[in-house]
Amino acid sequence: MIPAAFLILVFAGVFAFWTWGRLVMTSCERKMLVGDYDGALRRLRWLSLGVPSVFMLHKGALILSLAGRTAEAEPRYRKALSLASKGSRYPRERLHASLGYALMDLGRYHEAEQCFHRAIEAGDNTGNSQDGLGELRLAEGVETERALGYFNQAIEHAKRRAGRRIPGVYYAHRAWALALLGRGEEARESLAQALVVREPYAHGRAAVSWRAGMVLLAMQQTEEALKHFQTGCEADPRGKYGWRCESQLRGAA
């Protein structure tokens, strides 16, 4: 029989590791809240102990993406997908969608579209992939009506998720498409819905601010747009959306 003292030590070790892991992840999330992406990556490295799981790879890739280091994020997403395909229960639809956004940032639109469709086929019912398919069309400057349809689908999917908030970026994207289509009053209404959504993370606030600015530029409301770009720049100065806002401010100077 296994000695009771040995079992107690094993249990204590497992509990200590679990507790330490929770503390590190909490610290990682706190760093992400304020847009300290380097700090968040350091915390994640402590937890992975050199043997990253699918979750760790996905989390690290997301942090890199939000920091604007998309070229570094892509191989992590792909490695996570490779591990997930070997029997992991990790939701692959999340990985496909995340890789789609990374490829869109890299300008590889065809590959990105394939990823979003794979995410939907794998069971993504969050609206995230439909939002990505719409944003792709805005990025390419094509099929604005179709993009609007995707954004409407994304919002409807999000509404069906009990207890979950609808991301402000979904409304902001819809407003952007409406503005490009010359439907200014509807665009204003959708943008107002985007701006009342509480975004706890720095990158979330900057993402909505950047998109709000783009909506207003499409409506030729430059002065108002610049205020949103300034807000986004201040919200997430070390992240990709903060940099996008800063780029718009420099261009207007």
In order of their start, the domains of the chain are 56-82+95-124 (1.25.40)
d(CA 125, CA 123): 6
Tell me the C-alpha to C-alpha distance, in Å, between residue 19 and each of 25, 38, 41, 47, 56: 10, 23, 19, 11, 17
Number of neighbours of residue 180 by Cβ within 10 angstroms: 19
pLDDT (0 to 100) of residue 188? 98
Query: Which pair of tokens denotes residue 236?
Result: 């997430």
pLDDT (0 to 100) of residue 36? 95
d(CA 253, CA 152): 35
Q: Where are the alpha helices (DSSP H) in 85-221?
A: 92-105, 109-121, 128-140, 144-159, 168-180, 184-196, 202-218
pLDDT (0 to 100) of residue 195? 97
pTM for the complete prediction? 0.88
Query: Which pair of tokens denotes residue 21?
Result: 């892991």
Enumerate helices (H) and strands (E) in the chain, giving the number of each. 13, 0
pLDDT (0 to 100) of residue 126? 95
pLDDT (0 to 100) of residue 2? 53
pLDDT tens by residue, the chain, 253 residues: 456 554 454 444 433 333 444 555 677 889 999 999 999 999 888 776 666 789 889 999 999 999 999 999 999 999 999 999 887 789 999 999 999 999 999 999 999 999 999 999 999 999 999 999 999 999 999 999 999 999 999 999 999 987 778 999 999 999 999 999 999 999 999 999 999 999 999 999 999 999 999 999 999 999 999 999 999 999 999 999 999 999 999 998 7
